[in-house]
Amino acid sequence: AQSVTQLDSHVSVSEGTPVLLRCNYSSSYSPSLFWYVQHPNKGLQLLLKYTSAATLVKGINGFEAEFKKSETSFHLTKPSAHMSDAAEYFCVVSDSGNTGKLIFGQGTTLQVKP
Amino acid sequence: GAGVSQSPSNKVTEKGKDVELRCDPISGHTALYWYRQRLGQGLEFLIYFQGNSAPDKSGLPSDRFSAERTGESVSTLTIQRTQQEDSAVYLCASSFHGDSGNTIYFGEGSWLTVV
């Protein structure tokens, strides 16, 4: 069965410093992987997705993630954090069977300090 | 609007009552999903509809939960005899096709509080 593990439940950075949110996945086949962001009292927004094309995926708002099969990782990074980046981030893997059903990680809360 | 629309946005109900939550997917999207998000937790898959195929109900937590979808349009999630542990945000999502490469778009959710 597919699963994702977000290694940090809470990450705190200073504005202008790099962001690293870690995610490891488990999959018996070549998965599709996603990062979603959820701002307080807002819906989920897709940041980026990997679907077996380029391993370095660029998303919105300056975020990017690198798919590393050897490490079964899909960490999310951003060179310089902005206050507006403070939110909950979910690493997500698609289920098997090509249904598009998504399996969510438990989420990482990103705090950005001024 | 162009996005996934859910109603009601907020619902407070008494324990034991039935509730219905509605989802209008993006026009043309054949796949529709329901997820539940409890406070401070990730999303739990509930049910998935793809076109006219039999729905994948593997995530429904009990027989008090059911969902219907009319063709490729509106879906209704029904919770019977609500319990306090049913309190959560219920999120609906849709995609053009139930394929792992397609982007899934989420609504803003229906916040359910059972008192």
pLDDT at A96: 63
Q: Tell which phi-psi region holds residue A79, choosing left (phi > 0), alpha (psi between -120 and 50) or beta.
A: alpha
Statement: residue A82 has pLDDT above 90: yes
Q: Which residues contact B78 (CB under 8 A, 6 or more apart)?
A: B18, B19, B20, B21, B65, B66, B67, B68
- pLDDT 10s digits, B52-95: 888 999 999 999 999 999 877 899 999 999 999 999 999 999 98
Chain A hits for B42, CB-CB cut-off 8 Å, are 90, 104-107
Which pair of structure tokens corresponds to residue B61? 């937590």
- pLDDT 10s digits, A4-38: 999 999 999 999 999 999 999 998 777 889 999 99
Read off the amino acid at residue A112.
V
Statement: residue A98 has pLDDT above 70: no
Q: Name which of B31, B41, B106 is nearest A44 (Cβ-Cβ).
A: B106
